[in-house]
Structure 1
Amino acid sequence: MISFEQALDAVRQRARLQPALPMAVDAALGHVVAEAIIAPESLPGFDNAAMDGFALSAAHLALPPGTSIPLQGVQAAGDGRSTLGAAACRIMTGARVPDGTATVVPVEDASVHQSPDGTQSLVLNTPAGEGMHIRRAGEDVRAGSCVLSAGTRLLPQHRMLFAALGISQVSVHASVTVAVLCTGAELVDAAAPLVDGHIRNSNGPYLCAALPAMGAAIALYRSVPDSAAAYVDAVREAERAGCRIIISTGAVSMGVHDFVPEALRVLGAETVFHKMQMRPGKPNLFAVLPSGALLFGLPGNPMSCAVGARFFVQAALRHMQGLPPEPPLRAVLQAPLRKKPGWTLIQKAWLAATMEAQLQVQVLDGQESFRIHPFAQANAWAVLPESEAELAAGTLLDCYPLQPFPEWPCAPTSA
């Protein structure tokens, strides 16, 4: 048997990067950027007023507060280039500042007086400093700068940036097309009545809910009869559908009906590993088909299936989309634990931050691989290292959210 870390490395080594393709930005959300995105223009595109007020020239700044300054004209948002003369002018938030503007004085810092002849004048209540309340061209983004690096998953906030910069198309990695095959004659759908000895299929619906959040596009979902021949047919159907990852549940242990290893021999697949020093999920199987598609044989127990998808399928999906390995969150163990050494334990857990901004993790009761209710109450997986037998309170553990953060670990890119 191989270790948890060796299994992850084996998956990443065999996952192949998806090709890059141009895509309209509205369709690209959720995809990963394949090439750095360069700003085609500056943002803002021109110097503009940060608030409603009055545009003043450098000559006006030399005047002491209380001096009457002629006031003429209005510069509104959307108005084009203009020039500030001897008079100050009203200006609205977001309006282009007239050429010759040295500062913008907020409405509340000045008074407007109107003469009998209708002319207006401005009196400053306080001294005005140069360059105040002006958003400079390129202050947010400079034309030609990198605004998003390759390997960033596109999220709604990026759509705002693209709209502001006039970017309508980006280069992203193609979605990874996935098949989900559920084995087990005992399985019935959620709405079907149960008969004696049958159980409802929970792994399939879970995978169909979890995989899209990891960047997968599910092209095939079906139940497979308990035979190697039926499994072979289903895998070939998935390959014809263009699936680059095929996930099956069940039939990978040592029972009479655990036919997946036999079916893989018929398919000519390379079995990279089958069984590891990890619980739950010891029987996890990973193989590469002659077509290059990756096949994950996940155990039928619900938590073994969930762990296999969260860590091994997710590792492949990240690599195929151009994302680096997912870094763990480091959290302080709240209560001491004992475990059998020689096994990595993936435990249902609750992760929380203290008022002092310290992450703490509580390992929950009900760790058996068949128990679903504690899983529904958890928000993270805690990884108990293979070499340890006793973990004291205060030990730092690697933890992972139950579902990966879509933006994790995008580092900020300076514009």
Structure 2
Amino acid sequence: MITHDEAIEIIRQEGSTHLLGSEIVPLDQIAGRICAETLKSPIANQPFDNSAMDGFALKAEELASAVNDSPVALEVIGRIAAGDIAPTKAPSHGQCYEIMTGAPMPAGCDAVIPIEKAERGKSKVLFRVQAHKDENVRHAGEDFAAGEKVLAPGHVLGSQHILVLATIGIGKIKVICKPKIAVLSTGLEVVDDLNSKLNSGQIYNSTGPYLRSTLSVFGAEVFSCGTVADDAAVFKSKLESMIRNRFDIIVSTGAVSAGSYDFIRQALEEKGAEILFHKVKIRPGKPVLFAKFPDGGPFYIGLPGNPVASAAGLRFFVYPLIRAMQGLLPEQPQYALLKNSYSKKTDFRFFLRAIVSHSDKTTHEVDIMQKQQSFMVSPFITANAWAVAPEGVEMMKTGDVVNVYPLMP
């Protein structure tokens, strides 16, 4: 049985040799995607010198003598609105332009006095304050220069990037393709219809909807392949169909342990899959299985059927595989001070549901929750993190530094 670190090394080696392709998508569809190209600004932002205020554009030196008791009067020779062409006629001595926010600065003007600081007369405007060069002027290229690098490959895109890219006129972008992931549940006792009444010995399928929803959060295109009862022949038929559909990853729950109905490993091997590892020194989720099919076929991750074991396996095996196939670096943990002691088996790594909080502006604390058994789902109501109890440690003490990961990356 291998360690979790060894398993992740295998996952990263395999995933990095099966990188996902790329596609071009419109700007309004980039949130949550991975940038697959170097993006440079095609224009300067601001694209031209413009006013940051509604007010009056002028030469700053015109108001050098302006004070409250002795204002300077300037003649308004024109009005410039946003969208107008910048006037090429510079104001003469004693003149200015009225200007609106976003309007292009006229030739010869280097400052804008807000309208609130000016007094309109019948034919002139009075100024009782001095002006400073570049005051309330937004200069061309002040935000981005034309040709400046904006985003690099591997950058995780959010809706905030839409604002940036639209501003500089980029309407589509090359991103990493979403991995196509099939989700299959197993078990005679599993009931998919959550509105039906359970018979004796039955349980609702909680892992299926959880996996499908979470994989969508991970950025995958998810396909539900239903539930297979504990029947190896039916599973093999379903497996053949999933292989033909050219999924990138197949994720199943249940039937990976060592019981009479745990048929997945044998079925995979009979279909030509190479088992890369089976069973890892972790709790929950020890029976996890990782395999690959030949000739560019899909990866296969078999998770245990218990709900929490499936959730931990999804977070700490499937998600690292997706990142590797996207060409991303390994996820790094956060660190928190343990609020309560915890004991465990020495030779296993434990993934524990936890609550991370802030004791002050800089310090994270983590509280390991009760009810950590792999069938107990109630901690998920309030948990916001996974705390990692490493191998080689039997007792974690209050105040120890603990690796933590957000419940959802």
TM superposition score normalised by structure 1: 0.93
Q: Distance in 2 between matches of 1:111 and 1:331?
A: 59
Q: Is 2:387–2:403's contact at 8 Å kept on the other side of the alignment?
A: yes
* 1:122 aligns to 2:125 (yes or no): yes
Could you tell me which runs of 5 or more consecutive residues in structure 1 were left unpaired when the two chains were aligned: 405-415
Query: 1:148: how far off?
Result: 1.1
Match of 2:216 in 1: 212
Shift of residue 44, structure 1, vs aligned partner: 1.2
Moved more, 69-78 or 255-264: 69-78
- 2 CA distance for matches of 1:387 and 1:94? 63
Q: CA deviation at 1:36?
A: 1.3
Q: Percent identity?
A: 39
Any idea what SS the aligned residue of 2:233 has?
helix
Report the counterpart of residue 315 of structure 1 in structure 2: 320
Name the SS for the 1:265 alignment partner.
Answer: helix
1:151 aligned to which of 150, 154, 165: 154
Work out the CA distance in 1 between the residues paired with 2:392 and 2:87: 72
Match of 1:46 in 2: 48
Say yes or no: does 1:194 pair with 2:202.
no
Aligned to 2:10: 10
- Contact kept in structure 2, 1:177 and 1:244, CA below 8 Å: yes
What secondary structure, in the 3-state scheme, does the structure 2 residue paired with 1:398 have?
A: strand
The partner residue of 1:223 within 216, 227, 236 is 227
Please tell me whether residue 92 in structure 1 is matched to residue 100 in structure 2: yes
Aligned to 2:78, the other structure's residue is in SS state strand
1:247 matches 2:255: no
Following superposition, the deviation at residue 2 of structure 1 comes to 0.8
SS in 1 for 2:121: strand
Aligned to 2:164: 161
Cα pair distance change 1:59/1:129, threshold 3 Å: closer
Shift of 1:306: 0.2
Contact 1:352 1:360 in 2 (8 A): yes
Task: Give the CA deviation at 1:47.
Answer: 1.0
Contact 1:32–1:322 (CA<8 Å) still a contact in 2?
Answer: no
Q: 1:346 aligns with which of 314, 326, 351?
A: 351
**Could you say which residue in structure 1 is the equivalent of 2:365?**
360
Distance 1:136 1:257 in 2: 71
Match of 1:101, SS state, is: coil
Mean CA deviation greater in 371-380 or 350-359: 350-359
Given that 1:173 and 1:322 are in contact with CA atoms closer than 8 Å, whether structure 2 keeps it comes out as no
Structure 1 window deviating more from structure 2 (186-195 vs 246-255): it is 186-195
Matched length: 399
Using the TM superposition, give the Cα deviation of residue 391 of structure 1 relative to its aligned residue in structure 2, in angstroms: 1.7
**What one-letter code is carried by the residue in structure 1 that aligns with 2:387?**
A
Q: Write the letter of the residue equivalent to 1:108.
A: E
The whole-number CA distance in structure 1 between the counterparts of 2:223 and 2:376 is: 29
Amino acid at match of 1:168: G
Secondary structure, counterpart of 1:386 in structure 2: coil
Deviations 1:72-127 (A, max 9, x none): 3211111112133121111111111112111111122222222xxxx2x2222222
Give the distance between the partners of 1:141 and 1:241, measured in 2 at CA.
45
Structure 2: which 5+ residue stretches go unaligned?
none
Establish whether residue 173 from structure 1 lines up as the match of residue 176 from structure 2: yes
**Is 1:245–1:295's contact at 8 Å kept on the other side of the alignment?**
yes
1:266-285 to 2 correspondences below 5 Å: 266-285=270-289
Offset of residue 272 of structure 1: 0.9
Q: Deviations over 1:338-378 (max 9, x none)?
A: 22211111000001123333111110011000001112221
TM-score (norm 2): 0.94
Give the Cα–Cα distance (whole angstroms) in 2 for the partners of residues 36 and 354 of structure 1.
40
* Residue 111, structure 1, aligned to residue 119, structure 2: yes
Q: Does 1:132 align with 2:98?
A: no
Deviation per residue, 1:277-310 (Å, 9 max, x gap): 1100111111111133110000000010000001
Confirm or deny: 8 A CA contact 2:283 2:350 kept in the other structure: yes
The answer to whether the Cα contact below 8 Å between 2:43 and 2:146 also exists between their aligned partners in 1 is yes
Query: What is the CA-CA distance between 1:58 and the residue it aligns to?
Result: 4.2
Post-superposition shift, 1:220? Answer: 3.6
